[in-house]
Amino acid sequence: MNAVDLFRLDGARALVTGGSRGIGRAVAEGLADAGCDLVVTARTLSALDSTVRAVEDRGRKAVALDGDLAGPGVAAALVDRAASALGGLDVVVHNAGTLPTAEDGSPLLLPLQHAEQGDWETVITVNLNATAAVCRASHPYLLESARASLVLMSSVAGVVGTPMMEAYAATKAAQLSLARSLAVGWARQGIRVNALCPGWTRTDMTAFASEADVLSDWLTSHVPMGRWATTDEVVGAALFLASPAASFVTGHALVVDGGLAVPDGGLAGHPKPSSPFAAA
């Protein structure tokens, strides 16, 4: 046995939600490198073109599907359409997720006591309810697979306290719980379920912070490695969980965060600027 081959997924049929950019796109490309054919999803069909091209450039099949996970029945329909397009599913990486968003599209960072209940519900709908729907709809397809792996893209925000993002953090913690419960329930059915918890990663979702010096310095001051992750740094962990390399790994939350969740990562001793949210 060549251990590197354990990371191969030749001919596997994979669904990556939120595959148009950021972490999802990087994971889709990584799975294609490992030999997967892919369905990638997002709300904006045209935004998936470059991922489709990147997967096809790797010699693999790629299908783009659009759908807003906030819509009733959309998550389950996307899974069914994906399975139909690929003739089944072996790997599901449910990656799409959102922060609370203001009307102008910018992230709405407010402490819970100042946030509207409607903002809470939007985040719960997309990040948690759609996750449950994706898991439920994936089950019959994964049941038919000899190498079934479901990976939920949670976050370090589900592991550590994350002020100003309470709804987001609660959904990410709920994804960890769901991954553990499903892992136990589906273990004898041959379906592995794991969660991946990236730390602060440079993507469109986090541009509001990574491109703002004060906020970026404050956030990275809490990261022992002292910097943002790149999307490529999340891919290896996703591939590990999806592949036979993790054949005895289920119910795990794999944290990829530069040490942020290590208690007490703050002891790394980086100078701590005062919080930009101190007055909130």
Ligand X SMILES: NC(=O)c1ccc[n+]([C@@H]2O[C@H](COP(=O)([O-])OP(=O)(O)OC[C@H]3O[C@@H](n4cnc5c(N)ncnc54)[C@H](OP(=O)(O)O)[C@@H]3O)[C@@H](O)[C@H]2O)c1
Residue 96 makes contact with ligand X by CB under 6 A: yes
Residue 251 makes contact with ligand X by CB under 6 A: no
Rounded CA-CA distance 204/75 in Å is 22
Rounded CA-CA distance 36/59 in Å is 10
Give the C-alpha distances (Å, rounded to integers) separating 115 from 79, 121, 125, 207. Answer: 32, 11, 16, 21
**Tokens of residue 43, six digits:** 């709300």
Residue 82 makes contact with ligand X by CB under 6 A: no
**Tokens of residue 275, six digits:** 């919080």
Contacts of 201 (CB under 8 A, 6+ apart): 22, 23, 228, 229, 230, 231, 233, 234
Do residues 78 and 65 lie in contact, with contact meaning Cβ atoms separated by under 8 Å? yes
| Smallest gap from residue 171 Cβ to ligand X (A) | 8
| Smallest gap from residue 60 Cβ to ligand X (A) | 19
Residue 220 makes contact with ligand X by CB under 6 A: no
Using CB under 6 A, which of 42, 55, 89, 183 touches ligand X? 42
The type of residue at 277 is F
Q: Residue 7 or residue 200: which is nearer to ligand X going by CB?
A: 200
Q: Residue 39 or residue 205: which is nearer to ligand X going by CB?
A: 205
Stretch that binds ligand X, among 53-61, 80-88, 91-99, 218-226 (CB under 6 A): 91-99
Using CB under 6 A, which of 36, 37, 98, 108 touches ligand X? 98
Which residues are known to be catalytic? 168
Residue 43 makes contact with ligand X by CB under 6 A: yes
Residues that bind ligand X (CB under 6 A): 18-24, 42-44, 47, 68-70, 95-98, 126, 153, 155, 198, 200-201, 203-206
